[in-house]
Amino acid sequence: MAVELTNRTIWLTGASFGIGLELAERLLDKNNQLIVTARSETVLQKLKTDYPDQVTIIACDISDPSAADYLKAELANHVESLDTVILNAGICEYIDVTDFDMDLVDRVTQTNYLGFVRCVAAALPLLTGSRNNPHLVGVSSASAYHGLPRAEAYGTSKAAMRHFLQSLRLDVFPLGIDVSIVYPGFVDTRLTRANDFDMPFQMTTDQAVEQMIKGIEKRKKEISFPRRLIWPIRLLSMLPASLSTELGQKLVRTQG
């Protein structure tokens, strides 16, 4: 059942730049009430200034172990229920196996996976209380489909998100909550501009957000884009391990 993203109470994390900021602006233009979360309140103030009657700010570092309790209390202070939750916050760092950095693994895991789970824990009671077709959306990554070079931390965190949401989808079905997983390819953002490798079929944030909104409104269980990148990665995951490894090793040699 399609549900238009208008006149809904929405919580969006990672709303300070890139996909999150573009998505926030689009949702606000569609007359939604929006709770926005990022680590710094300052970077969210422009949204509040531009949309004073529609925006509520809850600043939080979701990598903090106490974030779940804090977010749960803050959300309950502002709204009685949530219609849509879009968990978009995340960081991207890549492993160098010749100088393995456990602190990097911990940072990525604490934000992309455990931080995401903390947000789910905070949101579930308010989604359960919604009578307006509640919907939980998690933004994973195309890298969740298969292991890729240098993605031992980032790709693993996004694959963990995927597995979590697939399991959660089954458990919240009796509660009437839909669950969608977003798998973006390369999108031109502040994070990807730091990458030191080729990014095929890169999309603009506007293009990515357009795909996300269409998929969310259609209640698609999986929202993946662009197809020219997604399908080769998905095919890689279906091949025998010997062949997928051989192809993956060619990618390593092209990283430079």
Q: Which amino acid is at 12?
A: L
Please, which pLDDT band fits residue 256 given cuts at 50, 70 and 90? very low
Cis amide linkage into residue 226, ω under 30° from 0: yes
Compare 115 and 225 and report the one with higher pLDDT. Answer: 115
Judged by DSSP in three states, 149 sits in: coil
The reported pLDDT for the residue numbered 33 is 98
Burial of 31 (0-12, 13-18, 19+ CB in 10 A): exposed
Is this model's pTM higher than 0.85 or not?
A: yes
Name the residues annotated as catalytic: 154
Q: Going by CATH, does the domain composed of 9-253 fall within 3.30.70.141?
A: no
Burial of 183 (0-12, 13-18, 19+ CB in 10 A): buried
16, 38 contact by CB (below 8 A): yes
Q: How far apart are CA 151 and CA 7, in angstroms?
A: 38
Please, which pLDDT band fits residue 138 given cuts at 50, 70 and 90? very high
Q: How far apart are CA 95 and CA 97, in angstroms?
A: 6
The reported pLDDT for the residue numbered 197 is 52
The reported pLDDT for the residue numbered 253 is 42
Residue 75 has pLDDT above 50, yes or no: yes
The phi, psi pair for 162, rounded to 5°, reads -60, -50
